[in-house]
Amino acid sequence: MLLPIGEPRGTHITQFSKMDKLLKTAIIGTTQASNQQTEQAAQINTGTGVDTLSSQLDAAERERSFLLTAGALAIYQQAGQLTSKREYPIEQAPLEQLPACNDQVTHLLRELFLQHANDLLPEALQRLQARHQRLPYNLLTLALQSGTTNKALGRSLLALLGERGHWLARYNPDWKWALTHRADENASAETIWQEGIFTQRIEVLQRLRENQPAQARAWLAAAWSKEAAAERLILLDTLHSGLSMDDVPFLIQQLTDRSPQVRKRSAELLVTLPETTQAQLLMQRADEMLDYQPHTLQHGEILVTLPVMAGGRPADEQWCKDVDIAGSLGKKSKAEQWFNLAISAIPPQHWEQRFHVNVEELLAALEGDPYEVTLIKNWTRAAGLHATTAWQLPLLRWHLAQLLVEQKKRIYGQEEEDYELTRQLLGRAEPSTIEQLLWEAQKKQDFDQLWLLFSLLPGIWSPPVSQVYIQLIFQYTSANNDPHFGSSLTTLLHAQNALHPDCFALIIQEQEAHAQTDSDYIHKDYYQIRYVESRNKCIKHIKLRKRIQEEI
């Protein structure tokens, strides 16, 4: 049966009171409901067009009439609902400014996203950006999800999402990080500085700093109060390039910054300028704490004099201000902290000039001294601050030897700090310094030091260093029952991202050449099985890096 034409159904869809009588009847039952009312009153009246139909049903069949009426009313109300309309239409995404990458690159990137290859994706994305291309639409969801879970990856993705990616991010609150647009690369430097994302602004400021340092400093000063502490710290480092006395007033202002890290970095930059009052006073205080006593028949002796303390601070308040330029030490501190703060900021070559000895003689004078470890660590930090390349090789020899001693003694308390300090020193070292260390270890057949060096060496290794490593890992496979199994195994995960691209073909070639040898070992020794499997997994990763180099 059809409902009467022209029935205004939409006017009743919100009147849920029409169901009250039906609900009451369903609860107490049709028999009791009819006993309480006359037959006419018991007739269910919904106030809709359904009543025209239900009145034609046999009143004697109460249950059947009730169920048909309830069902018809439910359908009537659903049919009468109007589709909701958006008050504002969805805006279309702007037209794209960059072309999408080709299908081959799309396939490779999809593979990297699905594998969560966060160690390879930054390189692939950087190469795609260099080609002035963007991600295709069918990768946007994967990219936005990956950038949400990995903030560093998200920063790399911003330039590659295209207009559609930024538009899509409006409709998912988890993707709000992608709402930030990169400024047009063809815009003026000042426009990019004002409107670009943070990485763009850093790049522009660094370029300006190289050519117009005063203008770069003026831009930085104008925007300083609007930047977050983490950003201020990164921006401050741009002054390191071309640092001069002209930067001193700005740096002195930042000694009162609300961020302790910014204050500390400002003080470090100040003392790298030997003409500043801060650097000269600090050097004077450091000279009071460190002296050298030469000996005729053997190496000299380093003499340490710690400051006199009173109530948790040095007794001389002016001395405190001269040493703790950034105000980083609190009211309760130890004399050793003040000693470390001063010595770690003095150029290492100052001690050579003052004591008329070279770095090797200074290190020899500390051998077995109670202050040996403390003082050499401070000199290492100072060598990094002042870029003292002449000290790199002697300091690295000492640190590598010290780490091996700590490993054997299982000195776990200091080990991680020492590892990090050695990594930083290796990261600043010249390639020739690294190659010299490798040559010395190979000559002595010191595999402990070789594996330790490869496990700590950061960044992309030089081709000569990569070649030494490749030779070593295949040489190891043929040396059964090698006691350095664990040490060599841990380097593979690090090496798969560190080997130089020029050596990709070499390691793949070596793998093919050793296929038969590997097959022989795979049935003999558990450790060799594990090593060969790990090495092959490393090479599989390198093949993926090779694809990135070739396809993007």
Q: Is the pLDDT of residue 387 over 60?
A: yes
pLDDT tens digits, one per residue of 323-335? 999 999 888 889 9
Q: Is the pLDDT of residue 38 over 70?
A: no
Contact assessment for residue 331 and residue 310, using Cβ atoms and an 8 Å cutoff: no
Rg, the chain, Cα only = 37
Q: Which helix (H) or strand (E) holds 291?
A: strand 290-293
pLDDT tens digits, one per residue of 247-295? 999 999 999 999 999 999 999 999 999 999 999 999 999 999 999 999 8
**136 DSSP assignment:** -
Q: Which residues contact 30 (CB under 8 A, 6 or more apart)?
A: 62, 63, 66
Quote the Cα angle for 499-505-511, to 5°.
90
136 compared with 89, residue with greater pLDDT: 136
Percentage of the chain beyond pLDDT 70 is 84
pLDDT on residue 413? 52
Backbone angles phi, psi at 293, to 5 degrees: -115, 110
* CA separation for the pair 504, 107 (Å, rounded): 22
Question: What SS3 state is found at 113?
Answer: helix
Q: How confident is the model at residue 3 (pLDDT cuts 50, 70, 90)?
A: very low
Q: Is the pLDDT of residue 35 over 90?
A: no
Q: Is the pLDDT of residue 86 over 60?
A: yes
Q: What is the dihedral of CA 123, 129, 133, 138, to 10 degrees?
A: 50
Strands 301-304 and 290-293, sheet pairing: antiparallel
Q: Is the pLDDT of residue 87 over 80?
A: no
Amino acid at 230: A
Q: Is the pLDDT of residue 186 over 60?
A: yes
pLDDT on residue 10? 42
Q: How confident is the model at residue 43 (pLDDT cuts 50, 70, 90)?
A: low
Backbone angles phi, psi at 186, to 5 degrees: -90, 0
Least reliable range by pLDDT among 275-279, 446-450, 461-465? 446-450
* CA separation for the pair 87, 85 (Å, rounded): 6
pLDDT on residue 331? 80
Contact assessment for residue 297 and residue 344, using Cβ atoms and an 8 Å cutoff: no
Backbone angles phi, psi at 302, to 5 degrees: -90, 130
Nearest Cα to 240, choosing from 261, 284, 270, 264? 270
* CA separation for the pair 223, 238 (Å, rounded): 14
Write b or e for each residue in 160-193: b if 16 or more Cβ atoms lie within 10 A of its Cβ, otherwise e. bbbebbbbbbeeeeebeebeeebbeeeeebeebb
pLDDT on residue 34? 53
Domain locations in the chain?
Answer: 9-79, 103-179, 189-273, 274-383, 388-446, 460-552
Per the listing, tokens 């609860």 go with 27
Characterise 387 by phi-psi region: left (phi > 0), alpha (psi -120 to 50), beta (else): left
A 10 A CB-CB count for 378 gives 22
Percentage of the chain beyond pLDDT 90 is 60
Q: Which helix (H) or strand (E) holds 401?
A: helix 392-409
Question: What SS3 state is found at 305?
Answer: coil
* CA separation for the pair 272, 386 (Å, rounded): 6
Per the listing, tokens 């993007």 go with 552
Nearest Cα to 472, choosing from 493, 495, 456? 495
3-state helix, strand, coil in the chain (%, to 5): 70, 5, 30
pLDDT on residue 32? 56
pLDDT on residue 41? 45
- pLDDT (mean) for 6-29: 52
- pLDDT (mean) for 5-17: 43
Q: How confident is the model at residue 66 (pLDDT cuts 50, 70, 90)?
A: confident
Average pLDDT taken over every residue of the chain:
86
Q: How confident is the model at residue 2 (pLDDT cuts 50, 70, 90)?
A: very low
